[in-house]
Chains A and B, each alone.
Chain A
Amino acid sequence: MLSERLAAREREGRPIRVGVVGAGRFGTMIVSQLAAIKGMRPSVVADLETPRARRALHHGGVADVDIIEADRVDRANPVIARGGSVVTSDAGVLIASDVDVVVDATGNPEVACGTALAAIGHGRHVVMVTVELDVLVGAVLRRAADEAGVVYSAAYGDQPALIVELYDWARSLGFEVVAAGKGTKYLPAYRKGLPDDIWERYGMPEDASAGLNPKMYNSFTDGTKSAIEMAAVANMTGLRPDVRGMHFPPAGVETLSEILKPVEDGGILHHTGVVEVVSSIDREGRPVPHDLRWGVYVVLTSSSAYTRQCFADYGMPVDRTGKYAAFYRPYHLVGMELPLSIARAALDHEATGTPLSMPQAAVVCAAKRDLRTGDVLDGEGGATVYGLIEDTRAAAQQQLLPIGLSHGARIVRPVPEDGLVQIEDVSLETSGQLYQLWKEQQGLLPSRGR
């Protein structure tokens, strides 16, 4: 068992040494869990604000006196070697020090890009929490990791990796995957939601939201994060969005298989093998019974009548035709489960989800309001654009702006509310590493007419 193999590493005095970049909400969950695990150490935590990195370690029960701040690798390494924890404001120090695995939990694609490339360059395995980056340049990073002989992995515990796990389970067993995805709280009106009033929409009291990033949480409800996560899943599995933007149907675990099946069988799908997000509330805002707000699912079918009968015999929620059944996981523990990605990378040299060589889906921008010349876009979860999942080839053909590159872009040609933002509608900073890698990833797409 994995737990025994980790315990053996602990006994042998060679725990997996982990560096976590970014000590926000997600990073804190990772760090606090790492401190509880036999066979791993939160060896280095990097955050621009080192007190935040310290606090994350405190949540993990690490005493302040045992935390050493270090701005040089040769200061950090002795602390790591004796099993202690280092905090630093410099991700470069973390990457160059003696860690086995680097986790990026910054949530900032530009920063995450630099961290991932540097970590791969140093021969570290990388676990990528910043899904936005993964959608933009994951295929290129994965190739770089392959060449360096390290693992580039999605973060177990976050929904994309858990969906990939269900997909892999189903495909290994020979089931046909009709749809796979996650639940969230969604209404079409949320698309236009602003960061200012997000806590009410998200359902979190003001005092609980202290220290949290309102843009991030706004992205959770305006559909952008869902689009990004499903694009990541598409790129790791080969599943595709059924339509641009997906359907976001209200569905609970009992109705997944009734709704997420082909139109000809009474469902809503035009294709099978799709990524889709279900809402935990119906279009009037009422809660859906047995909702899947925190969970992930797969709807599957089998060509064998005997197997289809078994779905029903063993209590799976089956649709009216008896052809489709849903399998699901009700919860995900976000950063708390991420150490399993670390274990798989360090012990087995395997990823808990990694991009395929050919990207399938992108996330493009639509205007939250009329955008005028001179307006500056504020990216994911902001007040100017929301994200829609789109087939990569269609996005490339229509020259649509990926939302991951939109932050700071200046409008040079007006875009009406709900209009799609094209690359030529904005003036874009193109000198950065992220943009260059994105161009490289675009080069992986099949050329037009093929």
Chain B
Amino acid sequence: MLSERLAAREREGRPIRVGVIGAGRFGTMIICQLAAMRGMRPSIVADLDVPRARAALAHAGVADDVIVEASRSDRANPVIARGGSAVTADASVLVDSDVDVVVDATGSPDAAAANALAAIQRGRHVVMVTVEADVLVGAVLRRAADEAGVVYSAAYGDQPALIVELYDWATALGLRVVAAGKGTKYLPAYRKGVPDDIWERYGMPGHEHAGLNPKMYNSFTDGTKSVTQRVFAQAVRDAIGPEFEGGRSLC
């Protein structure tokens, strides 16, 4: 079982060292889970807003006094080596330091594409949360990853990868896939929705959306994110080869 293989990595003292770029909502969820897992570490978290990276690790139960801010990879590496967590404002420090896998959760296609390329060039596996980047340049990134001998993967747990999993399950079994996709809250009128009144439309009261990005949530309802995910699922189906197996291929 995967859980046994991860536990073995923990016992052997060589957990998978993960770098997460972007400590927003999605990044915080990743970091929280990484901290709870045996066999992985949230080794380094990069965010332009360093206190946000610290806050994500705090949510995960990592004490503030064991988090080290590092502006150079040679400062980060000793922290990573002893199983601690580094934070940095500079994604390139993260990419250069001793991590096995880089996750881009910036939500910014421009930053995500640059992070992915840098990580691939440094021989890191890449898990891409920023689906927008994937739809724009995913095939090119995948080719670069193939050439570098690393994995370029969709993010398991987000809908595209889960849809790909269902698609693969059905196709492997010889069942014909008539349609595949996801659910959302949608009305045609939402297409014209603007970020200013998104929280009412999304159904999230005032005190709950603090710190969340209104443009991102507006994209969830105006249909843009759904289209991105659909195109992405198609792209993965077309592009990602045998090495795409969710987390399995990462270790």
Contacts and interface: CB of A to CB of B under 8 A. Distances in A.
B60 A2 contact: no
A1 B173 contact: no
Interface in B61-93: 61
Interface in A1-46: 1-6, 8, 33, 36-38
B33 A33 contact: no
Nearest to B204: A313
Chain B contact patch, size range: 20 to 34
Contacts of B59: 304-306
Contacts of B173: 33, 36-37, 336-337, 339-340
A350 to B, nearest CB: 9
Nearest to B28: A306
Contacts of A353: 1
A33 B174 CA distance: 7
A302 interface: yes
B169 interface: yes
Contact of A37 (B3, B29, B167, B174): B174
Contacts of A310: 29, 32
Contacts of A321: none
Contacts of B242: 1, 4-5, 8
A421 interface: no
A169 to B, nearest CB: 8
A65 interface: no
Contact of A4 (B35, B61, B174, B241): B241
A418 interface: no
A379 B184 CA distance: 50
Interface stretch (A170-178, A251-259, A365-373): A170-178
A168 B3 contact: yes
Contact of A307 (B3, B33, B38): B33
B172 A173 contact: no
A173 B38 CA distance: 8
Contacts of B172: 1-3, 6, 37, 339-340, 343
Nearest to A307: B32
Contacts, number: 85
Of A164, A169, A303, A353, most B-chain CB atoms within 10 Å: A169
Contacts of A167: 3
Pick the most buried of A3, A37, A305: most chain B CB atoms within 10 A of its CB: A3
A174 B33 contact: yes
Nearest to A168: B1
A164 B3 CA distance: 11
Interface in B22-76: 28-29, 32-33, 35-38, 59-61
A337 B35 CA distance: 34
Interface string B209-248: 0000000000000000000000000000100111011010
A36 to B, nearest CB: 3
Contacts of A173: 33, 36-37
A303 B32 contact: no
- The A interface, classified by DSSP as helix, strand, loop or mixed, is helix
A337 B105 CA distance: 34
The size bracket of the interface on A is 20 to 34
B2 interface: yes
- The interface centre, meaning the residue of A33, A173, A303 with most chain B CB atoms within 10 A of its CB, is A173
A37 B176 CA distance: 11
A340 B36 CA distance: 30
A175 B36 contact: yes
Contacts of B164: 1
B60 A172 contact: no
Contact of B247 (A172, A304, A340): A172
Contact of A3 (B28, B29, B38, B171): B171
Interface in B1-22: 1-3, 6
A337 B60 CA distance: 37
A207 B174 CA distance: 29
B146 interface: no
Nearest to A236: B1
Contacts of B37: 172-174
B126 to A, nearest CB: 18
B174 A306 contact: no
Nearest to A39: B172
Interface string B167-184: 111011111000000000
Contact of A174 (B36, B174, B237): B36
Contacts of A37: 172-174
6 contacts: A5-B242, A33-B174, A37-B172, A303-B61, A306-B32, A337-B173
Interface of B: 1-3, 6, 28-29, 32-33, 35-38, 59-61, 164, 167-169, 171-175, 237, 240-242, 244-245, 247
